[in-house]
Amino acid sequence: MKPAILLGLLSLVVAIETAYAFDASTRPWRSGETEFKTEFFNSPSPDPKFKQAFEEAMRIWTENSTFVFTADSDSSADPCGADVLNGISFEEDDCGDAYGASTLAVQTATFSGGQRTRSVITFNSAVNWDVFSGNQAGSTDFQRVAIHELGHSLGLGHEDSGVPAIMRSFIGSIEVPTTDDINGVAFMYDTDDDGVGIAEDNCSDVANTGQDDQDEDGVGDACDADIDGDEVFNGETVDQAYAVSSLVNSFFFLGAENGGNWWAQTFTAAVAGQLTGVKLPTSCDDRENGQPSNLSVSIQGATASGLPNGVEIDAITVDDATGVGELGLMTFDLSGGGTASLIPGDQYAIVVSSNGECFYQVGSGDYSPGRASVSGNGSTWFGQSFDLPFLTIVSPTTLDNCPMIINADQADADNDEIGDACEDMDSDAVDDDVDNCPNTPNTDQANLDQDSFGDLCDSDMDGDGVDVGEDSDDRNPLLCIDSDDDQCDDCSSGMFDPADDGEDTNGNGICDLSDPDNDGDGVSDAEPDNCPDIANPDQADADGNGVGDLCEAELCVPVKAGNGNLALICI
């Protein structure tokens, strides 16, 4: 199948803004990313600012859309040659064809099997280029033109009927991709509409904005057949270990140009279960009479030689597989009769026959490779070998009884098909993986100290360091026990600590309740000290009321009056 080519041109025209919607290609980069060689090819030392502007244009797309551009800053690619790499260049013409009168640049895309495989951009060397922001005046801003051409590169067409868009066919005041442009990119490269492009999405067919990946295997939980990574599948999975290795036991199907074609591939089952599908990148077309081709796919037990002469165990017929030139990642549903039960280690054959032209599309990069062979009659296999991809889909016989928690042993004490690791063993309607008392019913999950254990199974309910039974108050972290008999509760600080169990005025390590001289002034509290919390060894008490002056609310001082008597002055 010959590659197809698409051109994108940008002209210098006065901008007029109206209303619209983006124009997106149906043949995007399958991986959602690509790399450009950003050294200009065959150009006489262009100003470095143009290379910088082109790489900045790539960065702007990458940071503001769901497509990823990367730059190879050290090399170039010939945009007019057979090189398969993406490249840029200043040229006098478009690879031999004259530019249009107002053409600024041309982007040329190459396609194979429905996917974009190459993009090159030539900039008209006759244009007065510069790099600037603002209105065009005497020269043309290279960066916004580069952004426009890169938009063509990732699959956007011209949009001249809509809201402001960098992808209009004429240059104007718009300098960066707009919402309309970005929505167009998302349409192509965020197929599950979760805001993560397929190049970075760990589950590109199922929306999973959070990208949760419990077992960190690179496959998001939303589409992971083994979420917890314990090698016991929780749903339909891909048998990735079919172990094809040599021509004698490994055959694959390949397109031929005559009717009555047969292709076959043997594989060794690794997962016990029912084979529910086979996925192949194929397209079919009857080019002689314009009628769609018909594919018949069956799964058979294979003989020791690998030829598909065993007993057929399931089959399906598909009309008009995909259409000419389009890459279809076709899934052939083989679950119909429920008879394709695979046994690990046994060998099976996928057999395909066609009534017209069918092509195996190479280059999808989506599946692991196998070895291939082709037959004209279904029994005599030619000796050619090919390295082509395919994929088998299996519904495992044994499903994980606890898909979110690792439990390779699948222990299930009560035989209720729910693994013990995630069972509600105490029947309190709270699953064990979140139950703070998995063996004691506690529907309310009360947890006074907010630790890992609910109150009903917590040995230290209030978290003060003293176990239930010894604690004088299980629900008060400031009360527990007086182990050192100093009359102060050892949990006065909020945690069991006899060395810090109450007020200690003089800081001598003895709590006031047990200290005979709280203020350490040498006067025992029992004498009693007329100011027990403030050191006053002289015990001064000017008004003789039994309260030391340092502790008095008012300080009174005797002063000799004019008549010779003493008067008490209080301040």
- CATH number of the domain where residue 128 is located: 3.40.390.10
Residue type, 448: L
Total domains present in the chain: 2
pTM of structure: 0.59
Length of the chain: 571
Residues 359 and 280 in one domain: yes
Residues 272 and 143 in one domain: no
Q: Domain containing 16: what range?
A: 4-189
Domain annotation covers residue 435: no
CA angle (141, 108, 66) in 5-degree steps = 70
pLDDT of the residue at 254: 40
Residues 14 and 146 in one domain: yes
Domain annotation covers residue 480: no
Residues 268 and 357: their CA atoms lie apart, in Å, by 29
Tell me the three-class secondary structure of 261-300, residue by residue. EEEEEEEECCCCEEEEEEEEEEEEECCCCCCCCEEEEEEE
Phi/psi class of residue 434: alpha, beta or left (left: φ > 0; alpha: ψ in -120 to 50)? alpha
Q: Which of 18, 26, 33, 22 is nearest to 181 (CA)?
A: 22
Residues 118 and 254 in one domain: no
Residuewise pLDDT in 10s, the chain (571 residues): 334 444 455 544 322 222 334 777 777 898 899 999 999 997 766 899 999 999 999 999 999 999 999 999 999 999 888 878 999 999 999 888 999 888 999 999 988 656 788 999 999 999 999 999 998 888 999 999 999 999 999 999 998 877 899 999 888 899 999 999 999 999 999 989 999 999 999 998 899 999 999 999 999 999 888 999 998 888 888 774 333 333 333 333 444 444 456 666 667 788 888 888 877 666 665 445 555 556 677 777 655 444 444 455 555 555 544 433 334 556 777 766 555 678 887 777 777 776 666 666 554 444 444 455 555 555 555 555 555 567 788 888 889 998 888 889 998 887 888 888 877 778 788 877 788 998 899 999 999 999 999 999 999 999 999 999 999 898 998 889 988 888 888 888 888 988 778 777 777 777 877 777 777 777 777 788 788 777 788 888 888 888 888 887 555 555 555 665 555 555 5
Among 378, 396, 414, residue at a domain's last position: 396
Residues 163 and 53 in one domain: yes
- CATH number of the domain where residue 390 is located: 2.60.120
DSSP β-ladder status, 261-268 and 347-354: antiparallel
Across-strand partners of 331?
A: 279
Residues 269 and 145 in one domain: no
Answer whether 33's CB lies under 8 Å from 150's CB: no
Q: Which of 262, 348, 247, 269 is nearest to 303 (CA)?
A: 348
Q: Which of 279, 242, 273 is nearest to 338 (CA)?
A: 273
Residues 286 and 150 in one domain: no
